[in-house]
Amino acid sequence: MAAEIQPKALTRKPILLQRVEGSQEVVNMAVIVPKEEGVISVSEDRTVRVWLKRDSGQYWPSIYHAMPSPCSCMSFNPETRRLSIGLDNGTISEFILSEDYNKMTPVKNYQAHQSRVTMILFVLELEWVLSTGQDKQFAWHCSESGQRLGGYRTSAVASGLQFDVETRHVFIGDHSGQVTILKLEQENCTLVTTFRGHTGGVTALCWDPVQRVLFSGSSDHSVIMWDIGGRKGTAIELQGHNDKVQALSYAQHTRQLISCGGDGGIVIWNMDVERQETPEWLDSDSCQKCDQPFFWNFKQMWDSKKIGLRQHHCRKCGKAVCGKCSSKRSSIPLMGFEFEVRVCDSCHEAITDEERAPTATFHDSKHNIVHVHFDATRGWLLTSGTDKVIKLWDMTPVVS
């Protein structure tokens, strides 16, 4: 009797829609133009380009504008078509784009920083331009008058900037791994708090104003979800990259986090599940399972006439254990460990198959991503890479 052929399971993955090429250097930031088949990009090659899709199906620049200095970052407001561009020389230049996206008109320049602008946010509701620079300064300006309203010196160069309009809280992530929260008024700011959980620098921030949750990505390959609104100080760690996390975006309507990294990975995290905090690692001079001494515990080694062992930690319970008592590996997705990690033998036995069920999907963009932008209305994702290429993806198969 012929063997029954089982249909192969369909793998859901992002669909590459378009490659946009032509920049001479890295495209530091780019955005998808809402309701248009277009992309706005700023590059290290000093150019600002508006790419529109032609009848041929290819994207060609309708605007090619050369700036006096390399373009490091940008902020685009679709309602006003206001484009704010941060430059390597510390200047922020503002333009208004025409309705057909074929012309850009200069509005004003802000002498915002002493050196390279690292992040910009334009806040339409307050008519503020927020920015950070390599001069370790956070500054905000009035977009109408161009006047500087205030500033704050950060502990290190900032690389992440988010703002909550309702509470006027600004979140700043920096290269030291610290996140700073400031309360902004019209002409002054108050330090609310600082916190750190990464072992490397913060590379990206993403704010969800509905759930009041802040996500931070880091060069330590991890993402941390900080429950700001819950006021309990909960921090959930997400481990799913093999290289530094470069960019984050959040799909509010599906409660999915998109993280992209230097490994080319696009990871889609389901945040609509009850996640657990990783435990604090416990201190002990001997294995908390078999009581064998660790190698620095000379007294117990002498008394028991045993050789000291190397200390490890179980990622599930946090206990200090020896290698023999933690010989197993397991993924623990609800704790953010999508890859297999060290667990003690008793925890390994207790983890069920249901608890090992993945809460994230992994996809290869085939380029080292430096920036992303997600258009939630169409489900499109833009990735910009060190290969000077912009890629447009249809994410509806995986973000839904």
Q: Using CA atoms, how far apart are residues 128 and 109, in angstroms rounded to an integer?
A: 14
pLDDT of residue 187: 80
Beta bridge partners of 178: 196
Q: How many residues does the chain have?
A: 400
pTM of the model: 0.86
Residues 6 or more apart whose Cβ sits within 8 Å of residue 174: 154, 155, 156, 157, 158, 159, 160, 180, 201, 202
Q: What is the pLDDT of residues 132-145, one digit of tens each?
A: 999 999 999 999 99
Q: Using CA atoms, how far apart are residues 119 and 399, in angstroms rounded to an integer?
A: 27
pLDDT-derived band at 5, boundaries 50, 70, 90: very low
Q: What is the pLDDT of residues 170-180, one digit of tens each?
A: 999 999 999 99
pLDDT of residue 7: 40
pLDDT-derived band at 301, boundaries 50, 70, 90: low
pLDDT of residue 220: 94
Q: Which of 6-10, 247-251, 304-308 has the highest mean pLDDT?
A: 247-251
pLDDT of residue 308: 66
Q: Is the pLDDT of residue 43 over 60?
A: yes
